[in-house]
Amino acid sequence: MRIVHIITRLIVGGAQENTLLSCEGQHDAGHDVTLITGPPLGPEGSLLDRAKSHGYRVELLGAMHRAILPGKDYATYHRLVQRLRELKPDVVHTHSSKAGILGRWAAARARVPVVIHTIHGLAFTASTSPLVNNAYKFLERVTAPKTTKIVCVADAMRDQSLAANIGRPGQYVTVYSGMPTAPFLNPPVPRDQVRKQLGLADDHVAVGTIARLFDLKGHDDLLDLAPALCARWPNLRFLWVGDGSLRPRFEARMRQMQLRDRFLLTGLVPPSRIPELANAMDLLVHPSRREGLARALPQGSLAAKPVITYDIDGAKEAVIDGTTGFVLPPFDKTRLEDRINRLMSDPALRQNMGQAGREFALTRFDSTVMVDALESVYRKALLVARP
């Protein structure tokens, strides 16, 4: 098949990692793959070099930006139409909100037989502004008819989209976001060595978080709980993997609480280091307030760590409450503190939940499972489009 993926920007993030794994797997399977992306602008870091290194075609569209810029958006749309007419793909697969809207309209204009869009996170819940959210909801509604299939990384994305009158039930299919699982089972750098590099002693219990240091990721909730948790557990260390614009604010608050030495901040790390850092943890906490299905949840499970998360979006599709970790009522910091305390106090429970989580994640979140599922979606759609 000739496949074109379109994504707004290749920063370090879950949607971008998902897209690259799809491109890599499809290229390795012998398909003609093109990835069209805007500039990788942002403090999160770039995945553009990785994309260019795998052998498929990568094209940079300078006018495509995340922000709404009518002039640039109009130019982006017309360039996409032109390029798709030249490439003549069998399938166009769009990712992220801006590329998802412009790319699907362009694919329809270019008469691409199959147009797929993946919902990695709901654009119409992302802003604190009702006006912005309603604008995205309207755009998703009018763009859905241009879409052959809407892929969701969790059933929760389908349910929320249908409740917002976006698309038809028959358009939706769930394909869980995959990742390479082998590095989590056998990390390239052993746990003891990574912990030593981080300054973790043998008796330290590392409560890990893998997320951008950004709004709505839940770091503030952990900071609210830190004084009581650190006072109760002298061996507790918070290990935060990721970077972002809120880092100076978070560090200032840690210093104000006189707890800066209890937090280990790795800063920006390449995705290849996530398996070894996840293995260095003892439990993973992801108190995010908005996700599609956070990759951090299966990453923690694949590393055989118990996972604590709020019950938002697709979280309960990645964590089995009471078996592989704990799924808490959204933003309930009292229960969040209680579950952290429970796991801090019970190493056997951490081990049992972690092992159960690994076994579960291997069946649902392996990248080869995702790539095979996407190929099935494409082929079934093409059979209808070209009987």
3-state secondary structure of 260: helix
Question: Could you give the 3-state DSSP secondary structure of residue 97?
Answer: helix
With a cut of 90, say whether residue 129 has pLDDT above it: no
Tens digit of each residue's pLDDT (9 = 90 or more) over 1-16: 999 999 999 988 889 9
Residues facing 239 on adjacent strands? 208, 264
- Work out the average pLDDT over 56-78: 91
d(CA 297, CA 315): 8
Residue pair 282/305 in contact by the 8 Å Cβ criterion: yes
* Domain layout of the chain by residue ranges: 2-178+366-385, 182-364
Res. 260: pLDDT tops 90: yes
The answer on pLDDT for 339 being more than 70 is yes
Beta carbons within 8 Å of 100's beta carbon, 6+ residues apart: 6, 94, 117, 118, 123, 143
Per-residue model confidence (pLDDT) at position 103: 98
Return the amino acid letter for 8. T
- Cα–Cα distance for residue pair 201/204, rounded to 1 Å: 5
**How confident is the prediction for the chain on average, in pLDDT?**
94
pLDDT band at 61 (very low <50, low <70, confident <90, very high): very high
Q: How many CA atoms lie within 13 A of 366 on its CB side?
A: 11
Q: Do domains 2-178+366-385 and 182-364 have the same CATH topology?
A: yes
191 Cβ contact list (under 8 Å, min separation 6): 276, 279, 280
pLDDT of residue 290: 80
Q: Give the pLDDT band of residue 381 (cuts 50, 70, 90).
A: very high
Q: What is the assigned CATH class of domain 2-178+366-385?
A: alpha beta
What is the CB-side half-sphere exposure of residue 21 using CA atoms within 13 A? 25
Tens of pLDDT, residues 86-117: 999 999 999 988 999 999 999 999 999 999 99
Query: How sure is the predictor about 128, in pLDDT bands with cuts at 50, 70 and 90?
Result: low
- Could you tell me how many helices (H) and strands (E) the chain has, helices first? 15, 13
Which CATH number applies to 182-364: 3.40.50.300, 2.40.50.320, 3.40.50.2000, 3.40.50.800?
3.40.50.2000
Quick one: pLDDT at residue 292? 73
Can you give the pLDDT at residue 131?
86
Confidence of residue 253 (pLDDT cuts 50, 70, 90): very high
pLDDT, residue 127, reads 63
Whole-angstrom Cα distance, residue 214 to residue 44?
10
118, pLDDT greater than 70: yes
DSSP 77-90: HHHHHHHHHHH--S
* Tokens at 378, concatenated: 């494409």
Q: What is the mean pLDDT of residues 319-332?
A: 97
Nearest to residue 219, comparing CAs of 252, 178, 179, 195? 252
Beta strands in the chain (DSSP E): 2-9, 32-38, 57-60, 91-95, 114-119, 149-152, 172-174, 205-210, 236-241, 263-265, 283-286, 307-310, 325-328
